[in-house]
Chains A and B, each alone.
Chain A
């Protein structure tokens, strides 16, 4: 009896610790900067008077949101047929296509930005470009849209197909037995059921686009005439860089961060409401035209276009860097600083992943098992906050938070680790919580009626079933941390992680710099790719 009580107490204490960690180390720092509006209202008021700065801020934020919106729409339109094809059709090469879609995820955004900018926008004015580059995009606005499509497209396809898999195909078949053509059935039955899933996809893409820093900065730097154009995150990056020499940038920095955080959170709510309310014209059915479109060449043309889009606008830009490095004159490459930055990145990613697993898995378990409870429900919502807030704003907020206290020493490495934990922690929690929820609680319950204590039931029954999801979460957190630029720069202006190093190389604007950056990108791609392969291996094993 005594043992049972102390066990219960221990469990309560442990749970409380995990939740407190989450709230104080992840959530609070993420949104701490909002308090600036109250404590330093005066400086913000002064900023509001400063017409030049305000124009810059509104311009950048406006561009960010417009770009994110357009990117999301493009992703939906082009991603839906692709997701449909992957889930509902059987054809040769489906596995290959499935792998190809994930490939851009393996490329760190910094490398992706360089590679895409090279493909879309490079002209001979700026640097020697391979002859087969597209090189026709003159507008930075358009370039960033194309770039963001490259890396958000896989997220959209993945989240759409994840939902599609869950929608029982029997519904469509039932519709067809009632006389509906495949197109009609898909439009009137599957799409409406799809809505909740669409919200996830939209939010994910929007947030990714809004948050992207490294790739955007590089693309803009690579471009010949991008001066003056900025997005919210790149503005933060720039100003943070200049903060030491211009201390009066503190107020604008805080203001941009606050705006980005508030607007992105507000957007989350708006998207949820709007998508759930919007009524697509589902009432009418046009049997003849829809039947016609379901037959013959139309579906094939649609699938063909989907694949073409994937190749031209996603895959080629992602890996164009290889052709660049292969086609220009090699210059000397100084390996030492790059290797140093790479090791630095690995160290951080490793520590971050360790913390995520140790403290994320318990939270995931708590959320998954108390889903109906109010606290767990609130935590489940809060977990998404760091995923939605643009990482540059998150990083700046976090830096200010840790600088403002005296308990934890503010060493550069520590700050970067804490920043990376903040936005990778949710990845682990969501992954593991999702996996645990999928396991029928009857397994653990049965184990307990067979005499297993709760700890034994977890270790012997549940853990083997979710092991691979924990690993998958870890690999995701690791690669995300490895590729992150925005948050790193926003916490510590001159941190020497690999992505930041690449940005710096490109900012040199010399041929040697570009070449070195290209080589560094390829290295980063190869390493990330190995991790991605590991991820696929692990998840495939789970599916088996």
Chain B
């Protein structure tokens, strides 16, 4: 059963470090996403696992076996490429049966395998077509069927959905997870899209500048991220700077730069520390007292309203309203904002400033 273990994996190009000292274990049957902005080294990482790129240091173990010197074709992996890479001169059926063919299985077995996997991705009726006759989503499904048909239990997905329309992407990501779980595959999925990562994975590995920032379940990374970068990257958040002024009964009281005070259920900082509070828009709401702000914009988001407001020291704060009915929020109006103390998270204020700590590129 495939389990992938990376030990101190690194890749350098001259002076440039693409991936630095990565330790990670992906368990059998687990669906792990490697998430991060462009250039964070996530693609290099997955390519090293596949054997397409040779690491400059560290080791890759698949099933406990050291992969050093093992060529791609002997690693027994299924790989889906970002640009899909269906063989343009072969039909969908021949694409899918390429893996069995490369292993010289008898023709009737090749056919059986390709039918089975095309049925699984619901493309049986496209068997005789050429890749350029399919639309984007179908091409990606065919590529997936091809990867699965090679018989591997380890699936590597390199930004599999990024070439597709967003609406198609949403449908396909549920499909990906369904298939991976149904077949009991170990899956490593690389993406820059945090929504995609959240909805498909058992566990997310967040990378930045060649190194792992943080690893955890989607829920952990959303609700209690350990790093301020994670808080901002996974879902939107308000980052408010202030100081701890009081600690009592498991609650820290923070004074914000604009003078407002916020309570947070977290006490791992001492009085006087400079901190940043991360609070997501859905955990901030208008109240009778709290942080004063002026409403600058209201946007309809379908199931809720997103309100943009400006605090007295010109910081922008977003908060969500389930409904505007009976609430007389209008642009230019003053509001007092309260924070749900259980849902706010405190971080020490970063030395280079918040902006630098959450920079995306």
Contacts and interface: CB of A to CB of B under 8 A. Distances in A.
Do chains A and B make direct contact within the complex (CB under 8 angstroms)?
A: yes
Interface of A: 168, 170-171, 173-182, 184, 188-189, 192-193, 285-287, 291
A181 B73 contact: yes
Given A170-B85, A179-B73, A287 B78 contact: no
Interface in B185-224: none
A168 B85 contact: yes
Contacts of B73: 176-182, 291
Given A173-B52, A174-B79, A180 B102 contact: yes
A285 B71 contact: no
B102 to A, nearest CB: 4
B336 interface: no
Interface residues of B, number: 26
B89 interface: yes
A178 B146 contact: yes
A179 B89 contact: no
Interface string B120-156: 0000000000000000000000000011001000001
B359 interface: no
Contacts of A285: 101-102, 104
7 contacts: A168-B85, A170-B83, A174-B85, A174-B87, A176-B71, A177-B50, A181-B73
A174 B102 contact: no
B78 A177 contact: yes
Contact of B150 (A170, A179, A188, A192): A179
Contacts of B147: 177-178
Contact of B98 (A168, A180, A182, A193): A180
A286 B52 CA distance: 23
Contacts of A189: 87, 89
B194 to A, nearest CB: 26
Contacts of B150: 177-179
Given A177-B150, A189-B87, A170 B81 contact: yes
B103 A179 contact: yes
Contacts of B72: 173, 176-177
B41 interface: no
Given A177-B147, A192-B89, A184 B83 contact: no
Nearest to A195: B89
Q: Tell me if A's interface is mostly helix, strand, loop or mixed.
A: helix
Nearest to A193: B89
A181 B104 CA distance: 12
B176 to A, nearest CB: 17
Nearest to B47: A173
B52 A184 contact: no
Contact of B88 (A178, A179, A180, A193): A193
Contacts of A287: 102-104
Interface string B38-54: 00000000000010100
A286 B50 CA distance: 23
B284 interface: no
What 8 pairs between A and B have smallest CB-CB spacing? A178-B99, A177-B79, A180-B102, A176-B72, A170-B85, A179-B102, A174-B85, A178-B150
Contact of A179 (B85, B87, B99): B99
Interface in B88-106: 88-89, 98-99, 101-104
Contacts of B83: 168, 170
Contacts of A192: 89
Interface string B272-283: 000000000000
Nearest to A177: B79
B132 to A, nearest CB: 13
Nearest to A184: B102
Contacts of A188: 98, 102
Contacts of A171: 85, 87
A170 B81 CA distance: 8
Given A193-B87, A285-B104, A287-B104, 9 more contacts: A168-B83, A170-B83, A171-B87, A174-B85, A177-B75, A177-B156, A182-B71, A287-B103, A291-B73
Contacts of B338: none
Nearest to B151: A179
Nearest to B75: A177
A402 B99 CA distance: 63
B254 interface: no
Nearest to B101: A285
B77 interface: yes
Contacts of A180: 73, 98, 102
Contacts of B52: 173
A205 to B, nearest CB: 24
Contacts of B101: 285
A193 B85 CA distance: 13
Nearest to B52: A173
Interface string B312-326: 000000000000000
A285 B106 CA distance: 11
A294 to B, nearest CB: 8
B214 to A, nearest CB: 29
A174 B81 contact: yes
Contacts of A173: 52, 72, 79, 81, 85
Contacts of B85: 168, 170-171, 173-174
A182 B71 CA distance: 9
A52 to B, nearest CB: 52
Contacts of A182: 71, 73
Contacts of A175: 87, 98, 102
A180 B83 CA distance: 20
A193 B52 CA distance: 22
A173 B102 CA distance: 13
Contacts of B102: 175, 178-180, 184, 188, 285, 287
Contacts of B98: 175, 178, 180, 188
A174 to B, nearest CB: 4
Interface in B234-274: none
Interface string B64-80: 00000001110111110
Nearest to A173: B52
A207 B293 CA distance: 79
